[in-house]
């Protein structure tokens, strides 16, 4: 569970309407993320806003820039959990026709944010800070409400009626801030602009937060979680506020101000629903343990932490704590000890995917690749097509020298996950190892594209197009895709001038 994707390239400036959108998004999303995104225009001069197709394109562009600038976690087990939890809440929302995409950011900061197109990011620090699954669900429910109520688009629509000087100030703040990489000068301008606009916008954005709280609590109750979890979490965050000066507040507290009135209002709304004691899922605790294991500076520190917590009975869930201990022992290459703990876990729950995956990881680290692959293959007998096990299976097949088998497996899996950048990365490796170099460059181009590396994607397709062994139809497909990416790259460069 330690495979992370980390890129640090940051896009440049865009059009006035684009910059204005980013500024507005920063009012309800973390500034540290919002001012790094360069997105296409979301309206036309006639004042029409986003169509569903336009919002999807905007969301996809948003996600590419997230991957290019943030540490997006690629671990399939963690992603499977957060998508499952978010999907459960989304299914109970008042906009079930929307598609949501939940993803994790490897950051200790306590935060979550909603982007266009139903893309919702959750910092790992939020998961480890929550004390129950309902608390985590309350934050996801809040962010889902921002999407279902079209708060981004509604804010943009309201701001289009701003005076030109106010809009110019907002753009200046963004341009100066980006040019100086948030130096004091850039931040001073931005602060001045926000202060000047506060009176005209604060009621609008505050109403967004109130609406997201209200709908989020309703969503929690309908999805079977404890609606009181939202005010409980707010209350803990409110107490934490006193530990910081105003300039040091965590992102969550800056972008989601927690006041006594807000806590009281949330308690009142939650009180309208009957009391429900909702047990946490095992998967919630397993993900928290895996994240905790990865937080330490060295595997030895993680081993010490889990060993001591188990000895002193300091844990929320003993089973997940033992799982975290096993992961730490594997990372520290204490394989024999790790096996003992995994044996205990597997005896109790032989069907648990996380334990099957951990057993394969242990064997893989010991160099027992065929045994590891057999463990996964056996797991797939119980869970045919499971994403977590399939990706592990494909990786092991590549490691034992069966690239064609891996390629077939991955291509079948891609049909249901066309935007999974890690699938494309594995496909590129499988195709290359199987001697299908042109196909490998095509898959690598898609990986780079989804990762926000547009120039690298173009270069991969240019290499693929030079292969004279390709047939006419393959060459035509490559040329068409290359033209599409080159047009996008040229448009990007023009907007940066």
d(CA 244, CA 238): 11
Instruction: Determine how many CB atoms are found less than 10 A away from the CB of residue 408.
Output: 15
Q: What is the DSSP string of 7-40?
A: ---------HHHHHHHHHHHHHS-HHHHTT----
Residue 235 a catalytic site member: no
d(CA 134, CA 68): 31
Q: Which two tokens stand for residue 85?
A: 């939890």
Strand order in 101-105's β-sheet?
4-6, 71-73, 101-105, 119-123, 112-114
Pairing of strands 101-105, 4-6: unpaired
Residue 399 a catalytic site member: no
The answer to whether the beta carbons of residues 319 and 348 sit under 8 Å apart is: yes
In the chain the first and final C-alpha atoms are separated, in Å, by 41
d(CA 294, CA 298): 9
Q: Provide CB contacts within 8 A for 495, sequence distance 6+.
A: 12, 13, 14, 15, 18, 38
SS3 72: strand
Nearest partner of 172 among 187, 155, 150, judged by Cα: 187
Catalytic residue among 35, 213, 218, 420: 213
Q: DSSP label at 402?
A: -
Catalytic residue among 35, 75, 133, 143: 143
Residues classed as catalytic = 143, 213
């Amino acid at each position: 569970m330690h495979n992370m994707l980390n890129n640090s390239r940051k896009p440049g400036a865009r059009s006035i309407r684009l910059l204005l959108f980013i500024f507005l998004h920063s009012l309800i999303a973390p500034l540290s993320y919002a001012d790094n995104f360069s997105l296409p225009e979301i309206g036309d001069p006639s004042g029409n806003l986003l169509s569903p197709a336009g919002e999807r394109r905007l969301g996809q562009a948003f996600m590419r820039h997230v991957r290019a600038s943030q540490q997006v976690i690629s671990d399939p087990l963690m992603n499977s959990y957060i998508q499952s939890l978010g999907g459960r809440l989304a299914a109970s929302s008042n906009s079930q026709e929307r598609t949501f995409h939940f993803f994790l950011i490897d950051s200790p900061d306590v935060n979550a944010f909603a982007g266009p197109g139903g893309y919702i990011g959750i910092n790992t620090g939020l998961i480890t800070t929550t004390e129950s699954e309902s608390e985590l669900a309350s934050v996801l429910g809040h962010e889902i409400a921002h999407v279902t109520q079209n708060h981004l688009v509604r804010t943009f629509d309201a701001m289009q009626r701003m005076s030109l000087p106010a809009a110019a100030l907002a753009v200046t703040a963004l341009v100066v801030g980006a040019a100086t990489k948030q130096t004091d000068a850039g931040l001073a301008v931005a602060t001045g602009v926000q202060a000047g606009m506060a009176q005209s916008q604060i009621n609008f954005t505050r109403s967004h937060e109130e609406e997201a709280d209200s709908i989020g609590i309703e969503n929690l109750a309908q999805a079977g979680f404890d609606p009181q979890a939202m005010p409980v979490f707010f209350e803990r965050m409110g107490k934490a506020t006193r530990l910081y000066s105003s300039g040091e507040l965590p992102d969550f507290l800056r972008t989601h101000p927690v006041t006594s009135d807000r806590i009281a209002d949330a308690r009142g709304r939650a009180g309208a629903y009957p009391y429900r004691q909702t047990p946490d899922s095992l998967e919630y605790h397993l993900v928290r343990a895996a994240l905790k294991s990865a937080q330490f500076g060295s595997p030895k520190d993680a081993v010490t932490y889990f060993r001591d917590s188990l000895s002193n009975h300091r844990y929320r869930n003993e089973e997940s704590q033992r799982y975290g201990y096993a992961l730490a022992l594997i990372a520290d290459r204490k394989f024999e000890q790790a096996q003992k703990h995994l044996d205990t876990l597997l005896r109790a729950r032989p069907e648990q995917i996380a334990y099957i995956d951990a057993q394969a990881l242990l064997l893989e680290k010991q160099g027992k690749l065929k045994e590891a692959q057999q463990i996964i293959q056996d797991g797939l007998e119980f869970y045919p097509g499971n994403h977590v096990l399939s990706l592990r299976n494909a990786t092991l097949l590549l490691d034992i020298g069966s690239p064609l088998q891996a390629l077939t497996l991955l291509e079948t899996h891609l049909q249901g996950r066309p935007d999974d950048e890690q699938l494309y990365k594995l496909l590129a490796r499988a195709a290359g190892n199987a001697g299908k170099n042109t196909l490998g460059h095509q898959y690598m181009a898609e990986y780079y594209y989804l990762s926000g590396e547009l120039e690298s994607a173009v270069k991969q397709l240019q290499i693929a197009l030079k292969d004279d062994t390709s047939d006419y139809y393959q060459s035509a497909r490559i040329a068409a895709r290359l033209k599409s990416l080159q047009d996008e790259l040229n448009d990007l460069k023009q907007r940066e001038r």
